Amino acid sequence: MNILKHSLLAILLMALLPAQSMAKPTVAPKAYMFGFIANFTDSVVYFTDIQTVDSVWYDSKTKFLLGRSSYSHQLRNYFSETLNKPNSTCVVIYGLNRQDAEKKLVKLKKIYTVKHAGKYDVRNLNENEFHFTTVDMRSEEEKAAQAASSSKRPDKARKDGRKGGRKDGRKGGPRP
């Protein structure tokens, strides 16, 4: 009987705890990110400049960038199509403020330029060569709702510049 009570309690806790600990996706007005590209059959590694990206989505609890794979695919597609390097490993690293992103970039660059000096050919991609584009992580229902609300016709502006109401300035009632 005691085992049955404990197992039911464990099942109940497992069912309720994930629902409470689920973090809400949050939109940051902007974030700063850079990319790191390496091909393990080659000694050349690439770093992109730190770039400002508008409206990025992240998990509010873990601060994990949502859509990270989409940003990584943008970088991989650029390397496949432009530089003809299809089998590159692409990593996207971000920070909600520029200082965090700069710290992460310096730390990663130090590994390839100081710790393993001479083993790797480190190259930089500036923002003119490659630029991240915003990934929209809203659900399809949210996108449809926004499209429906933006397709509504705005109120017509009156010629005299006033909003609605009667031309003679009085309030309510039928016009004379």
Per-residue model confidence as pLDDT tens digits over 45-103: 999 999 999 988 888 888 888 888 999 999 999 989 988 888 889 999 999 999 999 99
Q: Residue 150 falls within a domain, yes or no?
A: no
- Structure tokens given for 46: 């690439």
Range of the domain at 40: 21-137
Q: Is residue 48 classed as helix, strand or coil in its secondary structure?
A: strand
Q: Residue 79 falls within a domain, yes or no?
A: yes
Q: Which pTM value belongs to this model?
A: 0.66
Q: Count of domains in the chain?
A: 1
Q: Residue 149 falls within a domain, yes or no?
A: no
Q: Residue 15 falls within a domain, yes or no?
A: no
- Structure tokens given for 44: 């050349």
Give the whole-angstrom CA distance, residue 165 versus residue 171. Answer: 7
94-124 b/e (C-beta count within 10 Å ≥ 16 → b): bbbeeeebeebbeebbeebeeeeeeeeeeee
Q: Which residue has the higher pLDDT, 158 or 86?
A: 86
- The runs of H, that is alpha helices, within 22-137 are 68-81, 98-110
